[in-house]
Amino acid sequence: MMLKEFPMFRPLLLAALIAIAGAPAHSAEAAAPAPRGELLDKVVAIVNDGIVTESELDEQIDVITERLAEQNTQLPPEDVLRRQILDRLIIQEIQLQRADRIGLKVSDEQLNAALADIAQRNNLTLTQLPEALASQGINYASYRDNLRKEIALSGLRQREVLSRINVTPRELEQFLERLKKMPSETDEYNISHILIAIPQDATQAQVDEAEQRAVEIHERASSGNEDFGRLAVAYSNSQTALEGGALGWRKGPELPTFLGELIGQLKSGDVSQPLRTPSGFHLVKVNGIRSTAGSPIEDQVHARHILMKPNELQDDATVKQRLAGIRERVVKGEEFQAFASSLSEDPGSAVNGGDLGWTGPGTFVPEFERALQSLQIDEISEPFQSPFGWHIVQLLGRRQFDTTEDNLRQRAFMQIRESRADEETELWLRRLRDEAFVDTDV
């Protein structure tokens, strides 16, 4: 039985989690000497105060080569594939160092909850998961380690990208107008993507060179003689390059803002003309279109919460204890809103006393959703952890709601943020890469 959920080696899907391809963070000073008679693992890249080793690179080449073969994607030349995979490992190492530097940790409780969720979706218990993984040749300890890193990198993206995306009232109004021209929200699009990146301080000559390359790739992809996935593996600078540029199925309004109107004009099988954005030139192929029309009635919850984040002065245990104390004081009669307004580190809800308004399924991260599902009306949760930090949440109400009209603005707000997340993530990763010390001539 193949597991349905296999977090390791997933790509950074735009508007999805930042994934880890099994590249552990290393300290150059901590590398232990090999036993006598064994060769030292060769260093292929120095990344700030960490390294990427040849064994890691070779392992990922094997994994990705096998996956591309399963997808019937023609492999690019070996040196091109090796360079793309090394670039990915370098960027993952930079992110892991960043997460460690800001104190972003994944607790055993959080990790076990994620593993239990994976097991449940595969009709297994948590105790059955190691055996199921072993039957696929997967070491459980390595799986746990990779999943812990994946969760950490997801939290890093939530904290440093998504939480900083602000939506102004004017943007909201403009988006509602554009919705009339955008693909229907009842349709889903299976798309693949190629990014030809340009540096932040690019000269005109560099911009022209990138544009010419994008035009050439478009001509090759449109001719029907070359596979779009192979071109993505060989030339794309996006984090999904090694998956053939696949972004998977997206609902119309969830498409990146800069692609929405463009994709609405394409048919299945079409490849777009190059589109310029701050990160570079984009090409998109529509692999398929399907309708997901359904009932507009959804189950909604009304909640408020307090968010606190660990930092250099207070670790996870301290933050959890502080929230437990606040919860006890609220249960005894003090005002939840007062604590949220003065202490919560969620800028979007703190100004409203922690109030999150009425929200539908899928609005929050899984940890938050699970906490809400377990509560009765007016009940306050025990402190729990998510990629954003530590929370207590109070359930204020439940309802079934027709989302056709009245909820349009709220959904539009979420869609704007998600659609901007793709481009913002690419720019954020490029900044991290530009600011890091990387030496591959070792």
Report the chain's mean pLDDT, rounded to a whole number: 82
Average of per-residue pLDDT across 263-282 = 87
Higher pLDDT, 87 or 69: 87
Report the DSSP beta bridge partners of residue 276. 281
> Is the confidence at residue 36, as pLDDT, over 50?
no
Nearest Cα residue to 330 out of 317, 344, 318, 316: 344
Higher pLDDT, 18 or 186: 186
The helix-helix angle for 78-101 and 228-235 (nearest 10°) equals 60
Is residue 253 a contact partner of residue 415, using CB atoms and an 8 Å limit?
yes
- Report residue 22's pLDDT band, with 50, 70 and 90 as the boundaries: very low
Q: What is the pLDDT of residue 217?
A: 95
For residue 324, the number of C-alpha atoms closer than 13 Å in the C-beta half-sphere is 8
Report the DSSP beta bridge partners of residue 392. 306
Distance CA(42)–CA(39), nearest Å, equals 9
10 Å Cβ neighbour count for 307?
25
Q: What percent of the chain has pLDDT over 70?
A: 84
Nearest Cα residue to 438 out of 141, 103, 92: 92
- Helix, strand or coil, per DSSP, at residue 418: helix
Q: What is the pLDDT of residue 180?
A: 61
CA dihedral 259, 152, 244, 46 (to 10 degrees): 120
10 Å Cβ neighbour count for 369?
16
Q: In CATH, what number does 297-402 get?
A: 3.10.50.40
Q: What is the pLDDT of residue 337?
A: 93
DSSP string, 17-29: PPP--S-----TT
Q: In CATH, what number does 169-294+409-421 get?
A: 3.10.50.40
Is residue 255 a contact partner of residue 189, using CB atoms and an 8 Å limit?
yes
> Is the confidence at residue 239, as pLDDT, over 60?
yes
Q: What is the pLDDT of residue 27?
A: 33
- Report residue 391's pLDDT band, with 50, 70 and 90 as the boundaries: very high
> Is the confidence at residue 205, as pLDDT, over 80?
yes
Q: What is the pLDDT of residue 32?
A: 39
Is residue 332 a contact partner of residue 383, using CB atoms and an 8 Å limit?
no
Q: What is the pLDDT of residue 405?
A: 60
10 Å Cβ neighbour count for 289?
19
User: pTM of the entire structure?
Assistant: 0.53
Distance CA(89)–CA(146), nearest Å, equals 13
The C-alpha angle 213, 72, 421, rounded to 5 degrees, equals: 55
Q: In CATH, what number does 43-163 get?
A: 1.10.4030.10
> Is the confidence at residue 327, as pLDDT, over 50?
yes
All residues at 6 or more sequence positions from 109 whose CB lies less than 8 Å from its CB, including other chains: 385
Q: What digits encode the pLDDT tens for the residues 210-220? A: 999 999 999 99
Q: What percent of the chain has pLDDT over 90?
A: 41
Where do the structural domains in the chain lie, given as residue ranges?
43-163, 169-294+409-421, 297-402
Q: Do domains 43-163 and 169-294+409-421 have the same CATH topology?
A: no
Q: What is the pLDDT of residue 283?
A: 93
Q: What are the strands, taking DSSP E only, across 234-369?
A: 246-251, 275-277, 280-291, 297-308, 355-359
Is residue 126 a contact partner of residue 119, using CB atoms and an 8 Å limit?
yes
